[in-house]
Amino acid sequence: MRIVVAALTGSLALALGACGGTTADDLAAIDAVTDKAGFSVGLVKHGTDETVVLRVPTEVGLEQAMTTEISMTMKVEAQGHSQTAETSNSQDSTLRITAVEGDEIVVESTIDRASVDMGGDTQSEAIGQAIADGVVGTVSTQRWTDRGAIISASLPDFDVDLPTGSAITSAQMNQLMNQMKSSMEDNAQAMSIPVPVEAVGVGTQWRATAKLSILGMPMKMSTTVTVTDISADEVISDIEQTITYIPGDVEIEGQTVQIKGGEMNLDGTIRYPRTGAIAPLVDMAGDGTVEMKVRGTTIKQGIQMSQVTRRK
C-alpha cells in the first residue's frame, strides 16, 4: 500500500524531496547562505560571463500550467523472498501567484487531473485511482523565497472513499495519507531547488543542502546544479541529487523501525525560467536502496524512479 501512496505523492515532493548526502560543513561552497527555508546554498564553481540573476517573478496573477509524470519500480527483499511492484502517475496542475507579502511569494497549486497505473494490479489500480480522483480540484498554498525555496506549505486534507472490498479501509488510507501530508508540510523545503544569491553564467555550479524527516525517517539532502546553457527564456542546467537515510530507530505507523542506512542518487536536467513562468522544469532519473529492521526482520528496499515535468 505504501507504493500506492508514494506514486500519488511523489510529484508533490519532487522525487521525495530533492536529495541529500552531505552537510553544509562538508561543502567546498563559496559564501554559502542559509535562507528562511533552511537551505544552505552556495557556489561551488564560477562560470563564464556571470550576468544572469535567477529570481521567482513577483507578478500577482501569473500562472503556469504543467504536467508531472513519475514512474517507480520498488523491490522489497526479506527473509529470502522478494516482491517487485511498478507504479506510475501523471498529474496536471496549475501554479498561480496570489500575493507578495514582504519577502515571501504566495503560490497556490491546483491539481487539475491525476491518474495512476499500478502495473496491472487490478485492486491496487482501483485504490490508486480512487485516491487520484479524490485529489483532483484540491488546492495547496506555498510560501516561496524569491530564490525558489519553499518556506512553508499548507496541503489539503485527504478524505477519499475507497472501492468496496479494498484490502485497506478508507479510514486507514486517509489516516496514512494525512500522516504523509503532515510530514510533507513539515518538510516543505524538500519540494524546491533554490538558486544562489549570485548571478550565474555557463559553468556556474552551486549546491543546496538541508536536513529533513519523512514519516519520522531523518535524511540529509544535497543538490548540485551546473549551468550548461543560457537562452533568452531559460537557464538549462545539469542536476545531481542524493538522499542519504540517517541510521537510527524511528516510529512508523506505531512500529519501531531500525533504519540501518541507505542512499538514493538521481541526475538529469533542470530548466529555470527567465520569463513567463514560476517554477523550474525537471527531467531526472535514478535509483537507490534503504535497509531497515522491523520486528527482528531485515528488509531491503530498492527503488528505481524517474520524474519529468513539462509546461502544458
d(CA 57, CA 243): 29
d(CA 194, CA 222): 11
| Cell numbers for 141 | 498554498
DSSP string, 178-200: HHHHHHHHHTGGGG-----SS-E
- Name residue 264's beta-bridge partners: 243, 288
Per-domain residue ranges of the chain? 2-311
Provide the phi-psi class of 228: left if phi over 0, else alpha when psi is between -120 and 50, else beta.
alpha
* Longest alpha-carbon distance in the chain: 62
pLDDT of residue 232: 94
**pLDDT value at position 37?**
55
The pLDDT of residue 121 is: 74
One pLDDT digit (tens) per residue for the chain, 312 residues: 333 333 333 333 333 333 333 333 333 444 555 656 566 788 999 999 999 999 999 999 999 999 999 999 999 999 999 999 899 999 999 999 999 999 999 999 999 999 999 877 777 788 888 888 888 999 999 999 999 988 899 988 888 888 888 888 888 888 888 888 887 787 777 778 889 999 999 999 999 888 877 777 888 889 999 999 999 999 999 999 999 999 998 887 678 889 999 999 999 999 999 998 999 999 999 999 999 999 889 999 999 999 999 998
Amino acid at 138: T
Alpha-helix residue ranges (DSSP H) falling in the chain = 2-9, 122-135, 170-186
**Best CA proximity match to 38, nearest among 56, 14, 20, 60:** 20
The model's pTM: 0.83
Total residue length of the chain: 312
Query: For the structural domain made of 2-311, what CATH number should be given?
Result: 2.30.230
